[in-house]
Chain A
Amino acid sequence: MKLAFMLALFQGWLLQIPGDWLSQIFSAIFIIMLIISMLYGQRIQLHIWLKEIEGSLYKLKYIRDEGRKIAIEAIKEAGKPQADPTPRVDRFLEYFTISPQSLDPFGVVWKLEHILDVRDTRFKDEVRLLAPSADETQINNLENTLEAAMALNYIYKVIRHYFLLGKKTLSLYVIMQIQMILPLVMREAEAYASALKAFAYGQPIGDGVGALVAAKLMHGYPLRKVPKDCVVATVPIEGRTAYVIKAEGPGGNVGKPGDAIKTIIEENEGKIATIIMIDAALKLEGEEVGEVAEGIGAAIGGPGVDQFKIEETILKYRIPINAVIIKEDIGDAVSPMRREIFEAADKAIERIKQLILEKTKEGDKVIICGVGNTIGIGQ
Protein backbone atom coordinates (compact mmCIF):
# COMPACT_ATOMS: atom_id res chain seq x y z
CA MET A 1 0.00 0.00 0.00
CA LYS A 2 2.73 2.33 1.12
CA LEU A 3 4.93 1.25 -1.81
CA ALA A 4 2.11 1.84 -4.31
CA PHE A 5 1.62 5.30 -2.89
CA MET A 6 5.34 6.05 -3.15
CA LEU A 7 5.41 4.84 -6.78
CA ALA A 8 2.41 6.96 -7.68
CA LEU A 9 4.08 9.95 -6.04
CA PHE A 10 7.31 9.26 -7.96
CA GLN A 11 5.37 8.91 -11.26
CA GLY A 12 3.60 12.20 -10.61
CA TRP A 13 6.86 13.91 -9.78
CA LEU A 14 8.52 12.40 -12.89
CA LEU A 15 5.81 13.79 -15.14
CA GLN A 16 6.49 17.26 -13.76
CA ILE A 17 10.08 17.20 -15.09
CA PRO A 18 10.14 19.05 -18.40
CA GLY A 19 11.43 17.39 -21.62
CA ASP A 20 10.86 14.03 -23.37
CA TRP A 21 10.76 10.68 -21.52
CA LEU A 22 14.50 10.01 -22.02
CA SER A 23 15.59 13.25 -20.40
CA GLN A 24 13.00 12.67 -17.66
CA ILE A 25 14.61 9.30 -16.85
CA PHE A 26 18.13 10.79 -16.82
CA SER A 27 17.01 13.68 -14.63
CA ALA A 28 15.34 11.25 -12.24
CA ILE A 29 18.52 9.11 -12.10
CA PHE A 30 20.58 12.23 -11.41
CA ILE A 31 18.28 13.39 -8.60
CA ILE A 32 18.16 9.91 -7.03
CA MET A 33 21.95 9.68 -7.12
CA LEU A 34 22.20 13.10 -5.53
CA ILE A 35 19.89 12.06 -2.71
CA ILE A 36 21.81 8.77 -2.22
CA SER A 37 25.12 10.61 -2.07
CA MET A 38 23.66 13.09 0.46
CA LEU A 39 22.28 10.39 2.74
CA TYR A 40 24.80 7.60 2.28
CA GLY A 41 27.85 9.43 0.88
CA GLN A 42 30.00 8.89 3.96
CA ARG A 43 29.04 5.24 4.22
CA ILE A 44 29.88 4.68 0.54
CA GLN A 45 33.22 6.45 1.06
CA LEU A 46 33.92 4.19 4.06
CA HIS A 47 33.29 1.11 1.96
CA ILE A 48 35.57 2.42 -0.82
CA TRP A 49 38.35 2.98 1.73
CA LEU A 50 37.78 -0.44 3.28
CA LYS A 51 38.02 -2.00 -0.19
CA GLU A 52 41.31 -0.13 -0.78
CA ILE A 53 42.71 -1.33 2.55
CA GLU A 54 41.55 -4.86 1.77
CA GLY A 55 43.43 -4.76 -1.55
CA SER A 56 46.62 -3.63 0.18
CA LEU A 57 46.08 -6.23 2.89
CA TYR A 58 46.04 -8.95 0.22
CA LYS A 59 49.37 -7.67 -1.02
CA LEU A 60 50.79 -7.48 2.51
CA LYS A 61 49.67 -11.05 3.17
CA TYR A 62 51.31 -12.16 -0.06
CA ILE A 63 54.56 -10.34 0.84
CA ARG A 64 54.47 -11.75 4.39
CA ASP A 65 53.98 -15.30 3.12
CA GLU A 66 56.75 -14.87 0.54
CA GLY A 67 59.04 -13.57 3.29
CA ARG A 68 58.32 -16.57 5.47
CA LYS A 69 58.94 -18.90 2.52
CA ILE A 70 62.25 -17.22 1.65
CA ALA A 71 63.40 -17.40 5.29
CA ILE A 72 62.53 -21.10 5.54
CA GLU A 73 64.25 -21.88 2.23
CA ALA A 74 67.38 -19.94 3.26
CA ILE A 75 67.52 -21.83 6.57
CA LYS A 76 67.10 -25.18 4.83
CA GLU A 77 69.80 -24.31 2.31
CA ALA A 78 72.43 -22.84 4.62
CA GLY A 79 71.72 -24.71 7.85
CA LYS A 80 70.76 -28.15 6.58
CA PRO A 81 68.55 -28.89 9.62
CA GLN A 82 67.48 -32.46 10.25
CA ALA A 83 63.90 -31.54 11.17
CA ASP A 84 61.52 -29.21 9.35
CA PRO A 85 62.31 -25.66 10.62
CA THR A 86 58.82 -24.29 9.73
CA PRO A 87 57.19 -24.49 13.21
CA ARG A 88 60.27 -22.90 14.81
CA VAL A 89 60.34 -20.12 12.19
CA ASP A 90 56.64 -19.45 12.84
CA ARG A 91 57.40 -19.14 16.54
CA PHE A 92 60.35 -16.87 15.81
CA LEU A 93 58.15 -14.52 13.75
CA GLU A 94 56.02 -13.88 16.82
CA TYR A 95 58.94 -12.85 19.09
CA PHE A 96 58.64 -9.48 20.77
CA THR A 97 60.86 -7.21 22.86
CA ILE A 98 59.56 -5.15 25.77
CA SER A 99 61.39 -1.83 26.09
CA PRO A 100 62.56 -0.87 29.60
CA GLN A 101 60.50 1.26 31.93
CA SER A 102 61.43 4.94 31.67
CA LEU A 103 59.32 6.51 34.43
CA ASP A 104 62.65 7.19 36.11
CA PRO A 105 64.85 7.91 33.06
CA PHE A 106 68.14 7.66 34.99
CA GLY A 107 70.14 4.72 33.64
CA VAL A 108 67.54 3.81 31.02
CA VAL A 109 70.20 3.61 28.27
CA TRP A 110 72.07 0.83 30.09
CA LYS A 111 68.83 -1.03 30.73
CA LEU A 112 67.96 -0.71 27.04
CA GLU A 113 71.41 -1.91 26.04
CA HIS A 114 71.05 -4.96 28.27
CA ILE A 115 67.63 -5.79 26.80
CA LEU A 116 69.02 -5.44 23.25
CA ASP A 117 72.03 -7.63 24.10
CA VAL A 118 69.75 -10.32 25.51
CA ARG A 119 67.56 -10.08 22.38
CA ASP A 120 70.59 -10.37 20.10
CA THR A 121 71.97 -13.39 21.95
CA ARG A 122 68.56 -15.05 21.98
CA PHE A 123 68.11 -14.48 18.24
CA LYS A 124 71.56 -15.84 17.44
CA ASP A 125 71.01 -18.94 19.62
CA GLU A 126 67.68 -19.52 17.94
CA VAL A 127 69.24 -19.23 14.46
CA ARG A 128 72.04 -21.63 15.48
CA LEU A 129 69.40 -24.17 16.53
CA LEU A 130 67.48 -23.60 13.29
CA ALA A 131 70.57 -23.87 11.07
CA PRO A 132 73.17 -26.07 12.76
CA SER A 133 75.49 -26.29 9.72
CA ALA A 134 75.63 -22.53 9.05
CA ASP A 135 78.88 -20.63 9.60
CA GLU A 136 79.11 -17.28 11.45
CA THR A 137 78.53 -15.19 8.28
CA GLN A 138 75.50 -17.27 7.32
CA ILE A 139 74.12 -17.06 10.87
CA ASN A 140 74.31 -13.26 10.71
CA ASN A 141 72.62 -13.24 7.29
CA LEU A 142 69.90 -15.65 8.42
CA GLU A 143 69.27 -13.54 11.52
CA ASN A 144 68.80 -10.47 9.31
CA THR A 145 66.51 -12.44 6.97
CA LEU A 146 64.36 -13.58 9.87
CA GLU A 147 64.21 -10.04 11.28
CA ALA A 148 62.96 -8.73 7.92
CA ALA A 149 60.35 -11.53 7.84
CA MET A 150 59.38 -10.57 11.40
CA ALA A 151 58.93 -6.94 10.38
CA LEU A 152 56.68 -7.96 7.48
CA ASN A 153 54.63 -10.20 9.75
CA TYR A 154 54.19 -7.34 12.22
CA ILE A 155 53.18 -4.80 9.52
CA TYR A 156 50.61 -7.24 8.12
CA LYS A 157 49.13 -7.94 11.54
CA VAL A 158 48.84 -4.26 12.51
CA ILE A 159 47.12 -3.30 9.24
CA ARG A 160 44.83 -6.32 9.53
CA HIS A 161 43.97 -5.29 13.10
CA TYR A 162 42.91 -1.79 12.08
CA PHE A 163 41.07 -3.09 9.00
CA LEU A 164 39.00 -5.53 11.05
CA LEU A 165 38.46 -2.95 13.79
CA GLY A 166 37.29 -0.42 11.21
CA LYS A 167 35.00 -2.97 9.60
CA LYS A 168 33.55 -3.94 12.97
CA THR A 169 32.95 -0.43 14.26
CA LEU A 170 32.50 1.35 10.89
CA SER A 171 34.35 4.21 12.55
CA LEU A 172 35.33 6.85 10.03
CA TYR A 173 38.40 7.85 12.02
CA VAL A 174 39.84 4.36 12.43
CA ILE A 175 39.44 3.62 8.71
CA MET A 176 40.57 7.07 7.57
CA GLN A 177 43.77 6.92 9.64
CA ILE A 178 44.85 3.60 8.20
CA GLN A 179 43.87 4.58 4.64
CA MET A 180 45.96 7.75 4.91
CA ILE A 181 49.18 6.09 6.09
CA LEU A 182 48.73 3.07 3.81
CA PRO A 183 50.96 4.32 0.93
CA LEU A 184 53.87 4.83 3.35
CA VAL A 185 53.28 1.47 5.02
CA MET A 186 53.19 -0.25 1.62
CA ARG A 187 56.47 1.41 0.62
CA GLU A 188 58.11 0.13 3.77
CA ALA A 189 56.69 -3.37 3.30
CA GLU A 190 57.93 -3.48 -0.32
CA ALA A 191 61.36 -2.36 0.87
CA TYR A 192 61.47 -5.18 3.43
CA ALA A 193 60.34 -7.63 0.74
CA SER A 194 63.35 -6.80 -1.42
CA ALA A 195 65.57 -6.75 1.69
CA LEU A 196 64.64 -10.35 2.41
CA LYS A 197 66.31 -11.68 -0.74
CA ALA A 198 69.28 -9.38 -0.22
CA PHE A 199 69.77 -10.74 3.31
CA ALA A 200 69.21 -14.33 2.24
CA TYR A 201 71.80 -14.06 -0.56
CA GLY A 202 74.21 -11.81 1.38
CA GLN A 203 73.99 -8.84 -1.01
CA PRO A 204 75.17 -5.40 0.17
CA ILE A 205 72.27 -3.09 1.05
CA GLY A 206 71.95 0.70 0.85
CA ASP A 207 72.32 1.08 4.62
CA GLY A 208 75.82 -0.42 4.32
CA VAL A 209 77.28 2.54 2.43
CA GLY A 210 78.99 3.84 5.60
CA ALA A 211 80.61 0.45 6.11
CA LEU A 212 81.58 0.46 2.42
CA VAL A 213 83.39 3.79 2.79
CA ALA A 214 85.33 2.44 5.79
CA ALA A 215 86.06 -0.82 3.93
CA LYS A 216 87.47 1.11 0.96
CA LEU A 217 89.70 3.11 3.28
CA MET A 218 90.98 0.16 5.33
CA HIS A 219 91.37 -2.41 2.55
CA GLY A 220 94.94 -3.72 2.41
CA TYR A 221 95.91 -2.56 5.93
CA PRO A 222 96.32 -4.87 8.93
CA LEU A 223 93.12 -5.28 10.94
CA ARG A 224 92.33 -6.03 14.54
CA LYS A 225 89.05 -6.74 16.26
CA VAL A 226 87.53 -4.27 18.70
CA PRO A 227 84.44 -4.69 20.86
CA LYS A 228 81.82 -5.39 19.82
CA ASP A 229 81.80 -7.14 16.42
CA CYS A 230 83.89 -4.35 14.88
CA VAL A 231 87.28 -4.14 13.17
CA VAL A 232 89.79 -1.30 13.14
CA ALA A 233 92.71 -0.55 10.82
CA THR A 234 95.40 2.10 11.26
CA VAL A 235 95.57 3.95 7.95
CA PRO A 236 97.85 6.88 7.04
CA ILE A 237 95.76 9.61 5.35
CA GLU A 238 97.24 12.98 4.31
CA GLY A 239 100.03 12.68 6.90
CA ARG A 240 97.61 11.89 9.76
CA THR A 241 96.97 8.57 11.48
CA ALA A 242 93.40 7.46 10.92
CA TYR A 243 91.75 4.69 12.93
CA VAL A 244 89.17 3.37 10.51
CA ILE A 245 86.35 1.42 12.16
CA LYS A 246 83.56 -0.68 10.70
CA ALA A 247 81.41 -3.64 11.70
CA GLU A 248 83.02 -6.97 10.85
CA GLY A 249 81.78 -8.27 7.50
CA PRO A 250 80.75 -9.77 5.22
CA GLY A 251 77.89 -11.20 7.31
CA GLY A 252 74.89 -9.04 8.18
CA ASN A 253 76.13 -7.12 11.20
CA VAL A 254 76.06 -3.55 12.52
CA GLY A 255 78.38 -4.12 15.48
CA LYS A 256 78.59 -1.64 18.34
CA PRO A 257 80.43 1.39 16.94
CA GLY A 258 79.87 3.19 20.26
CA ASP A 259 82.01 0.67 22.12
CA ALA A 260 84.61 0.59 19.32
CA ILE A 261 85.04 4.38 19.29
CA LYS A 262 85.24 4.46 23.10
CA THR A 263 87.94 1.76 23.06
CA ILE A 264 90.08 3.63 20.50
CA ILE A 265 89.72 6.95 22.35
CA GLU A 266 90.71 5.36 25.65
CA GLU A 267 93.65 3.52 24.04
CA ASN A 268 94.90 6.93 22.87
CA GLU A 269 94.09 8.60 26.23
CA GLY A 270 91.69 10.98 24.53
CA LYS A 271 94.34 12.38 22.18
CA ILE A 272 92.15 12.30 19.08
CA ALA A 273 91.95 15.45 16.92
CA THR A 274 88.56 14.67 15.42
CA ILE A 275 86.03 11.93 14.79
CA ILE A 276 84.34 11.53 11.40
CA MET A 277 81.27 9.32 11.20
CA ILE A 278 79.82 8.17 7.88
CA ASP A 279 76.30 6.82 7.61
CA ALA A 280 73.35 6.49 5.26
CA ALA A 281 70.58 8.99 6.01
CA LEU A 282 66.99 9.26 4.89
CA LYS A 283 66.57 11.73 2.07
CA LEU A 284 63.66 14.11 1.65
CA GLU A 285 61.52 13.77 -1.48
CA GLY A 286 63.09 15.82 -4.25
CA GLU A 287 66.65 15.16 -3.08
CA GLU A 288 68.88 12.97 -5.24
CA VAL A 289 69.77 9.42 -4.19
CA GLY A 290 73.46 9.27 -3.29
CA GLU A 291 73.78 12.96 -2.44
CA VAL A 292 76.62 13.51 0.04
CA ALA A 293 76.17 16.06 2.85
CA GLU A 294 78.34 17.11 5.75
CA GLY A 295 77.49 18.16 9.29
CA ILE A 296 78.20 17.90 12.99
CA GLY A 297 77.23 15.18 15.45
CA ALA A 298 77.18 11.44 15.88
CA ALA A 299 75.77 10.04 12.63
CA ILE A 300 74.29 6.81 13.86
CA GLY A 301 70.75 5.45 13.92
CA GLY A 302 69.28 2.56 15.85
CA PRO A 303 67.84 2.66 19.36
CA GLY A 304 70.26 5.39 20.51
CA VAL A 305 72.56 3.42 22.83
CA ASP A 306 75.63 3.81 20.60
CA GLN A 307 74.95 7.50 19.97
CA PHE A 308 74.69 8.03 23.74
CA LYS A 309 78.00 6.25 24.39
CA ILE A 310 79.82 8.21 21.67
CA GLU A 311 78.46 11.52 22.95
CA GLU A 312 79.43 10.66 26.55
CA THR A 313 83.00 9.76 25.54
CA ILE A 314 83.60 12.78 23.28
CA LEU A 315 82.22 15.07 25.97
CA LYS A 316 84.65 13.62 28.52
CA TYR A 317 87.67 14.30 26.26
CA ARG A 318 86.18 17.32 24.42
CA ILE A 319 86.73 15.76 20.99
CA PRO A 320 85.06 17.44 17.99
CA ILE A 321 82.80 15.18 15.93
CA ASN A 322 81.88 15.50 12.23
CA ALA A 323 79.38 13.60 10.14
CA VAL A 324 79.23 12.73 6.46
CA ILE A 325 75.92 11.32 5.30
CA ILE A 326 74.82 9.68 2.05
CA LYS A 327 71.18 10.28 1.25
CA GLU A 328 68.74 7.56 0.25
CA ASP A 329 65.12 6.65 0.91
CA ILE A 330 63.83 3.88 3.16
CA GLY A 331 63.40 1.53 0.21
CA ASP A 332 67.01 2.01 -0.91
CA ALA A 333 68.30 1.60 2.65
CA VAL A 334 67.12 -1.98 3.08
CA SER A 335 67.22 -3.23 -0.51
CA PRO A 336 70.30 -4.21 -2.57
CA MET A 337 72.67 -1.24 -2.95
CA ARG A 338 71.92 1.07 -5.89
CA ARG A 339 74.67 2.11 -8.26
CA GLU A 340 74.24 5.78 -7.27
CA ILE A 341 74.79 4.90 -3.61
CA PHE A 342 77.79 2.72 -4.42
CA GLU A 343 79.36 5.55 -6.41
CA ALA A 344 78.61 8.03 -3.61
CA ALA A 345 81.13 6.13 -1.43
CA ASP A 346 84.01 7.62 -3.46
CA LYS A 347 82.54 11.12 -3.15
CA ALA A 348 82.26 10.59 0.61
CA ILE A 349 85.94 9.56 0.77
CA GLU A 350 86.88 12.81 -0.99
CA ARG A 351 84.86 14.77 1.57
CA ILE A 352 86.54 12.90 4.43
CA LYS A 353 90.01 13.72 3.08
CA GLN A 354 89.01 17.37 2.67
CA LEU A 355 87.67 17.45 6.23
CA ILE A 356 90.88 15.93 7.59
CA LEU A 357 92.97 18.52 5.76
CA GLU A 358 90.80 21.40 6.99
CA LYS A 359 90.22 20.35 10.61
CA THR A 360 93.46 18.61 11.65
CA LYS A 361 97.22 19.13 11.53
CA GLU A 362 99.85 16.77 10.21
CA GLY A 363 100.70 14.04 12.74
CA ASP A 364 97.24 14.19 14.40
CA LYS A 365 95.16 11.13 15.12
CA VAL A 366 91.62 10.85 13.77
CA ILE A 367 88.85 8.28 14.02
CA ILE A 368 86.82 7.45 10.91
CA CYS A 369 83.80 5.28 11.62
CA GLY A 370 81.67 3.77 8.86
CA VAL A 371 78.25 2.99 10.33
CA GLY A 372 75.68 0.58 8.91
CA ASN A 373 74.90 -3.02 8.14
CA THR A 374 77.99 -4.55 6.56
CA ILE A 375 76.20 -7.41 4.81
CA GLY A 376 78.00 -8.33 1.59
CA ILE A 377 80.93 -6.03 2.39
CA GLY A 378 84.28 -7.46 3.45
CA GLN A 379 87.25 -5.43 4.66
Chain B
Amino acid sequence: MSGVSSETSPPAKVSPFALIAIIITLVVVVMLLFNAVYFYAEKNFEIAMALLIIGFFGLAACIYMFAEMRRRLLRLRIELPPITTTIECRKCGFKTVRGFQRGDYIFKEVDVCQKCNEKMLITAIYREVREKGKKSFPF
Protein backbone atom coordinates (compact mmCIF):
# COMPACT_ATOMS: atom_id res chain seq x y z
CA MET B 1 0.00 0.00 0.00
CA SER B 2 1.27 3.39 -0.84
CA GLY B 3 1.37 6.12 1.72
CA VAL B 4 -0.36 9.27 0.54
CA SER B 5 0.04 11.37 3.61
CA SER B 6 1.32 14.68 2.29
CA GLU B 7 2.01 15.93 -1.18
CA THR B 8 2.65 19.10 -3.09
CA SER B 9 2.43 19.46 -6.82
CA PRO B 10 5.68 20.19 -8.71
CA PRO B 11 6.69 23.87 -8.57
CA ALA B 12 5.63 26.07 -11.45
CA LYS B 13 8.27 27.31 -13.88
CA VAL B 14 9.71 30.86 -13.88
CA SER B 15 9.98 32.64 -17.22
CA PRO B 16 13.75 33.01 -17.90
CA PHE B 17 13.05 36.14 -19.97
CA ALA B 18 11.37 37.88 -17.01
CA LEU B 19 14.18 36.79 -14.69
CA ILE B 20 16.90 38.16 -17.06
CA ALA B 21 14.95 41.45 -17.42
CA ILE B 22 14.77 41.86 -13.64
CA ILE B 23 18.47 41.07 -13.19
CA ILE B 24 19.50 43.58 -15.93
CA THR B 25 17.29 46.27 -14.33
CA LEU B 26 18.84 45.50 -10.96
CA VAL B 27 22.38 45.87 -12.36
CA VAL B 28 21.48 49.22 -14.01
CA VAL B 29 19.87 50.41 -10.76
CA VAL B 30 22.98 49.53 -8.72
CA MET B 31 25.16 51.38 -11.26
CA LEU B 32 22.87 54.44 -11.01
CA LEU B 33 23.13 54.42 -7.22
CA PHE B 34 26.94 54.16 -7.38
CA ASN B 35 27.01 57.06 -9.84
CA ALA B 36 24.78 59.04 -7.49
CA VAL B 37 27.36 58.58 -4.74
CA TYR B 38 30.14 59.60 -7.16
CA PHE B 39 28.36 62.79 -8.23
CA TYR B 40 27.59 63.60 -4.61
CA ALA B 41 31.30 63.34 -3.77
CA GLU B 42 32.00 65.62 -6.77
CA LYS B 43 29.58 68.14 -5.19
CA ASN B 44 27.24 67.87 -8.21
CA PHE B 45 24.15 67.65 -6.01
CA GLU B 46 21.49 68.10 -8.68
CA ILE B 47 22.60 65.13 -10.81
CA ALA B 48 23.29 63.08 -7.67
CA MET B 49 19.74 63.71 -6.46
CA ALA B 50 18.20 62.84 -9.85
CA LEU B 51 20.19 59.59 -10.05
CA LEU B 52 19.30 58.73 -6.47
CA ILE B 53 15.57 59.19 -7.08
CA ILE B 54 15.63 57.21 -10.34
CA GLY B 55 17.78 54.53 -8.65
CA PHE B 56 15.38 54.13 -5.73
CA PHE B 57 12.38 53.97 -8.07
CA GLY B 58 14.14 51.26 -10.07
CA LEU B 59 15.05 49.35 -6.93
CA ALA B 60 11.45 49.51 -5.72
CA ALA B 61 10.24 48.27 -9.13
CA CYS B 62 12.70 45.33 -9.00
CA ILE B 63 11.62 44.33 -5.50
CA TYR B 64 7.97 44.55 -6.56
CA MET B 65 8.60 42.36 -9.62
CA PHE B 66 10.45 39.77 -7.52
CA ALA B 67 7.66 39.72 -4.94
CA GLU B 68 5.03 39.40 -7.67
CA MET B 69 6.93 36.51 -9.26
CA ARG B 70 7.18 34.72 -5.91
CA ARG B 71 3.47 35.29 -5.23
CA ARG B 72 2.57 33.79 -8.61
CA LEU B 73 4.75 30.76 -7.95
CA LEU B 74 3.09 30.20 -4.59
CA ARG B 75 -0.36 30.63 -6.14
CA LEU B 76 0.35 27.91 -8.68
CA ARG B 77 0.93 25.26 -6.06
CA ILE B 78 -1.78 22.88 -4.84
CA GLU B 79 -0.93 21.96 -1.27
CA LEU B 80 -2.37 18.85 0.25
CA PRO B 81 -2.15 18.58 4.03
CA PRO B 82 -1.20 15.26 5.65
CA ILE B 83 -4.09 12.89 6.39
CA THR B 84 -4.02 10.91 9.63
CA THR B 85 -5.55 7.50 10.25
CA THR B 86 -6.35 6.46 13.84
CA ILE B 87 -6.52 2.74 14.57
CA GLU B 88 -8.12 1.60 17.82
CA CYS B 89 -8.65 -1.67 19.65
CA ARG B 90 -12.26 -1.73 20.81
CA LYS B 91 -11.43 -4.24 23.56
CA CYS B 92 -8.43 -2.72 25.37
CA GLY B 93 -8.48 0.82 23.94
CA PHE B 94 -4.95 0.62 22.49
CA LYS B 95 -4.57 3.38 19.92
CA THR B 96 -2.12 3.96 17.07
CA VAL B 97 -1.92 6.90 14.70
CA ARG B 98 -0.29 6.72 11.26
CA GLY B 99 -0.45 8.40 7.86
CA PHE B 100 -3.34 7.55 5.55
CA GLN B 101 -2.78 4.56 3.30
CA ARG B 102 -4.72 3.71 0.18
CA GLY B 103 -7.64 1.41 1.02
CA ASP B 104 -8.15 2.85 4.52
CA TYR B 105 -11.71 3.69 5.49
CA ILE B 106 -13.52 4.41 8.74
CA PHE B 107 -14.68 1.18 10.48
CA LYS B 108 -12.33 -1.01 8.47
CA GLU B 109 -10.85 -3.90 10.40
CA VAL B 110 -7.06 -3.87 10.15
CA ASP B 111 -4.05 -5.33 11.98
CA VAL B 112 -4.27 -7.38 15.16
CA CYS B 113 -3.83 -5.53 18.48
CA GLN B 114 -0.33 -5.84 19.96
CA LYS B 115 -1.76 -6.08 23.48
CA CYS B 116 -4.84 -8.33 23.32
CA ASN B 117 -4.64 -10.02 19.88
CA GLU B 118 -8.06 -8.65 18.88
CA LYS B 119 -8.74 -7.15 15.43
CA MET B 120 -8.24 -3.39 15.44
CA LEU B 121 -10.55 -0.89 13.79
CA ILE B 122 -9.92 2.37 11.90
CA THR B 123 -11.89 4.87 13.94
CA ALA B 124 -10.83 8.18 12.42
CA ILE B 125 -9.42 9.62 9.21
CA TYR B 126 -8.94 13.37 9.08
CA ARG B 127 -6.59 16.19 8.18
CA GLU B 128 -5.27 18.85 10.52
CA VAL B 129 -5.45 22.43 9.31
CA ARG B 130 -3.20 25.05 10.83
CA GLU B 131 -4.98 28.40 10.62
CA LYS B 132 -2.53 31.04 9.40
CA GLY B 133 -2.51 34.30 11.36
CA LYS B 134 -6.06 34.05 12.71
CA LYS B 135 -7.06 37.57 13.69
CA SER B 136 -9.28 38.19 16.67
CA PHE B 137 -12.28 40.22 15.52
CA PRO B 138 -14.69 41.74 17.99
CA PHE B 139 -17.57 40.15 16.01
Contacts and interface: CB of A to CB of B under 8 A. Distances in A.
Interface of A: 20-22, 55, 58-59, 62-63, 66, 190, 193-194, 197, 201-204, 212, 215, 219, 249-250, 286, 335-342, 376-379
Most buried by A among B105, B106, B139: B106
Contacts of A335: 127
Contacts of B76: 58-59, 62
Contact of A378 (B75, B108, B127): B108
A202 B12 contact: no
Given A55-B72, A63-B78, A379-B107, A201 B4 contact: yes
A215 B107 contact: yes
15 contacts: A22-B46, A22-B49, A63-B78, A194-B80, A202-B104, A203-B104, A204-B106, A215-B106, A250-B105, A339-B128, A339-B129, A340-B129, A377-B105, A377-B106, A378-B108
Contacts of B78: 63, 66, 190, 193-194
B29 to A, nearest CB: 19
A155 to B, nearest CB: 14
Interface in B43-96: 46, 49-50, 72, 75-76, 78, 80-81, 83
A249 B122 CA distance: 14
Contacts of B104: 202-203, 376
A269 B124 CA distance: 37
A336 B126 contact: yes
B106 A212 contact: yes
A203 B83 contact: yes
A205 to B, nearest CB: 10
Contacts of B100: 201, 203
Interface of B: 4, 7, 9, 12, 46, 49-50, 72, 75-76, 78, 80-81, 83, 100, 102-108, 124-129, 137, 139
Given A55-B72, A338-B126, A342-B124, A219 B107 contact: yes
A62 B103 CA distance: 28
B66 to A, nearest CB: 16
A215 B108 CA distance: 12
Contacts, number: 81
A213 B102 CA distance: 23
Contacts of A62: 12, 76
A203 B80 contact: no
A212 B124 CA distance: 10
A139 B9 CA distance: 25
Nearest to B139: A286
B106 A376 contact: yes
B136 to A, nearest CB: 12
A20 B46 contact: yes
Contacts of A286: 137, 139
B62 to A, nearest CB: 19
Most buried by A among B75, B81, B139: B75
A286 B104 CA distance: 33
A249 B4 CA distance: 21
Nearest to A335: B127
A377 B108 CA distance: 9
Contacts of B4: 197, 201
A308 B27 CA distance: 69
Nearest to B81: A336
Q: Which 3 pairs across A and B sit closest by C-beta, in order of nearness?
A: A250-B105, A378-B107, A342-B126
Most buried by B among A20, A197, A341, A376: A376
Contact of B105 (A58, A66, A376): A376
A27 B71 CA distance: 34
B78 to A, nearest CB: 5
A22 B137 CA distance: 48
Nearest to B102: A201
Contacts of B126: 204, 336-339, 341-342
Contacts of A55: 72, 75
B105 A378 contact: yes
A203 to B, nearest CB: 6
A55 B69 CA distance: 11
B107 A336 contact: no
A58 B103 CA distance: 33
